[in-house]
Amino acid sequence: MLYTLRASCRLPATVTSMKKIPALLIQALAVAMLAASPAHATHPSSSKKKPIAKSRSAKVKPAQKSRSKSKATIPAAEFANFTQWQAVDGFIDEMCRDHGFEREALRSLFGQIHYLDSVVKLINPPPVGTVKNWSVYRARFIEPRRLNAGTKFWNRYTVELERAQQEFGVPAEIIVGVLGVETMYGQAAGKFRVVDSLTTLAFAYPETPNREPRMAYFRNELKQALLYARESNVDSLSLHGSFAGAIGWPQFMPGSIRRYAVDFDGDGKIDLRNSAVDAIGSIASFLSQHGWQRDQPLVFPVRVTADMPWPSLIGRSLEAKLSREELQVAGVIVPDEVPASHPYGLFDLEDGSQPTRYLLGTQNFFAITHYNRSYYYAMAVIELGQAISRHRLR
């Protein structure tokens, strides 16, 4: 999540996909026909366009782990002159005013950025009524290729994984689980150009109920990407990642790179795109700074009593705050082996036509949900790491 726009440098020309030539020819004809109209300079997905603006504006929100994986193929790009979008102009103003970027360098950059319709489609939530299925989700990750790749990775980086556990308290199986779920140990780190994805989502997010906060989030991540690129002396156009802008082996968003990533291989720079060792240390650092407790358990399966108020406890927050007694009063049947010394959170895993599973998570479980805000994701990380640990012993 780190790469810098060098304000004084000339930026390289963009290389874009030529897969949709017929569509591009049609688009070119349409542009020629509309040349007299100012609207041709903007993309229809943006709600904040300008014909050619004088005014400026803007502002931002938080940072976190992105949703799923990128497509294996290079995404097709569509031209949109972002330099003529009013919201982009306001963003450029902000970066110049608050962070010392040069206006012409940023205008040159945004002149090379492309709108990605594929990103807009991928970011949309699943249709209402989609049935969640833990068994199907789990099977995507607990499978032979990942088990073999994870075993090789663990064997190769045993020393570094042990060092991360000593320094941050995060066990090797959790770090190996994260890397297996995120990118299959660097094999699927994403082919989307990060500034294309983040600009598209920051200024042309699809029409959803949470559109404004999500645009603010991605606008902040776009800012973080430009700052990261400048700090790391990297061309921002060279950064590639997931459709949501996550970068490298561990799929950190740019803001998370700047806050949590570490130079774990000691070469003087943080490089999550090429250094597996930096990825190992950075995952451990992230989890440690999100509440991971050394030697604490993770999850316990429980049962629930019908017609009791336990449903109100599910999904309260990404924190473990409930005592064993509070859970029992609400109708949760807690096994004797669950320590009374830890706080917990109650969560569920819907499993298609099978009975829903109920579990208690400790603070360590919820630390993983800060990486990706999904109970399914956190359980996949845990179970993949455990499965690889067993696989190594064969």
Rounded to two decimals, what is the model's pTM? 0.80
> What does the pLDDT read at residue 168?
98
> What does the pLDDT read at residue 363?
97
Helix (H) or strand (E) holding 187: none
| CA separation for the pair 141, 310 (Å, rounded) | 30
> In which residue are the tokens 């308290």 written?
169
> What does the pLDDT read at residue 77?
62
> What does the pLDDT read at residue 73?
53
10-residue mean pLDDT profile of the chain (394 residues): values are: 35 36 39 36 37 34 39 58 95 98 97 96 87 96 98 98 98 98 98 98 95 98 98 97 98 98 97 98 98 97 97 92 97 96 96 97 98 97 98 94
The closest of 330, 357, 327, 331 to 342, measured between CA atoms, is 327
> What does the pLDDT read at residue 338?
96
User: Would you say how long the chain is, in residues?
Assistant: 394
Structure tokens at 333: 């049947």
Helix (H) or strand (E) holding 154: helix 144-156
> What does the pLDDT read at residue 197?
98
> 8, exposed or middle or buried, with CB in 10 Å at 0-12, 13-18, 19+?
exposed
**Cα-based distances in Å from 155 to 109, 148, 150, 176, 179:** 42, 11, 8, 11, 14
> In which residue are the tokens 């490298």 written?
248
Provide φ and ψ at 169, rounded to 5°.
85, 5
- Catalytic residue, candidates 182, 212, 221, 350: 182
Annotation marks residue 383 as catalytic: no
